[in-house]
């Protein structure tokens, strides 16, 4: 789903970043933008947790922040409606789930088709859902990693954009693996956003099966 608007882009891709916690992935995006490596702008950071440390990171970078407490809404859909309203009010083009611990609904997905990206700390389809690193350690895999994917209606089931792997050692526990994977997340997520910003990602939905994501750096 590469669009001519993407391909002809010369203005920064406008991002809305959704967080619930420490926001180290948010920081990686902020840093790559500041270094001129990622042609994007974060228009708003939304957190469903008022105490999320990531909000401080956003404030330090002078990015507008909004706290939306999901508990104040009668349903997931109502919460997502408010998020869509907030994202649209900031002219967001692409939504990044960067440690956002809520399941999103069709309301958000339909508002941003193939424009909601998640970063997950495993090599999907292995270990979806919460505690992916603990699942990997408990299973005894020797390779794990992270996945950037478009979000669909399932839990961590959307089309894979790209992955990075890490070794898993005998001595690893959840925390040591979490840290090793996180370093790769900080490389992968800004890189993928850069491909989107440059109009290099194509989503092929013609096959009848799972949509395929292709990287086509020859797009202008």
User: Which residues contribute to the site for ligand GRF (CB under 6 A)?
Assistant: 19, 21-25, 54, 98-99, 119-121, 182, 185
Question: Whole-number minimum distance, CB 23 to ligand GRF, in Å?
Answer: 5
Residue 91 structure tokens: 């002219």
Pick 3 or 155: Cβ nearer ligand GRF: 155
| Alpha carbon distances (Å) from 180 to 77, 155, 185, 208 | 35, 23, 9, 36
Question: Whole-number minimum distance, CB 206 to ligand GRF, in Å?
Answer: 30
Pick 82 or 178: Cβ nearer ligand GRF: 178
Pick 134 or 203: Cβ nearer ligand GRF: 134
**Residues near 171 by Cβ (< 8 Å), separated by ≥ 6?**
none
Question: Whole-number minimum distance, CB 145 to ligand GRF, in Å?
Answer: 11
Which string of b and e fits 136-164 if b means at least 16 CB within 10 Å?
bbeeebeebbbbbbbbbeeebebbbbbbb
Residue of this chain nearest to ligand GRF (CB atom): 99
- Say whether 90 is catalytic: no
Task: Just list the catalytic residues.
Answer: 120
């Amino acid at each position: 789903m590469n669009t001519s608007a993407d391909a002809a882009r010369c203005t920064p891709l406008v991002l809305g970043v959704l967080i619930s916690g420490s926001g180290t992935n948010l920081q990686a995006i902020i840093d790559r933008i500041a270094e001129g490596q990622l042609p994007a702008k974060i228009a708003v950071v939304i957190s469903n947790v008022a105490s999320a440390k990531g909000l401080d990171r956003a404030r330090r970078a002078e990015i507008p922040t909004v706290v939306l407490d999901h508990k104040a809404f009668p349903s997931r859909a109502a919460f997502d409606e408010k998020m869509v309203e907030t994202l649209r009010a900031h002219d967001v083009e692409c939504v990044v789930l960067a440690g956002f611990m809520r399941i999103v609904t069709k309301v958000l997905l339909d508002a941003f088709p193939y424009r909601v990206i998640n970063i997950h700390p495993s090599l999907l389809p292995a270990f979806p859902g919460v505690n992916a690193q603990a699942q990997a350690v408990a299973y005894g895999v020797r390779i794990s990693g992270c996945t950037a994917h478009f979000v669909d209606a399932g839990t961590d089931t959307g089309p894979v954009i790209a992955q990075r792997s890490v070794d898993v050692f005998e001595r690893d526990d959840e925390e040591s693996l979490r840290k090793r994977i996180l370093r790769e997340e900080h490389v992968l997520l800004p890189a993928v956003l850069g491909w989107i910003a440059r109009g290099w990602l194509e989503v092929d939905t013609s096959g009848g099966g799972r949509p395929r994501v292709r990287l086509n750096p020859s797009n202008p």
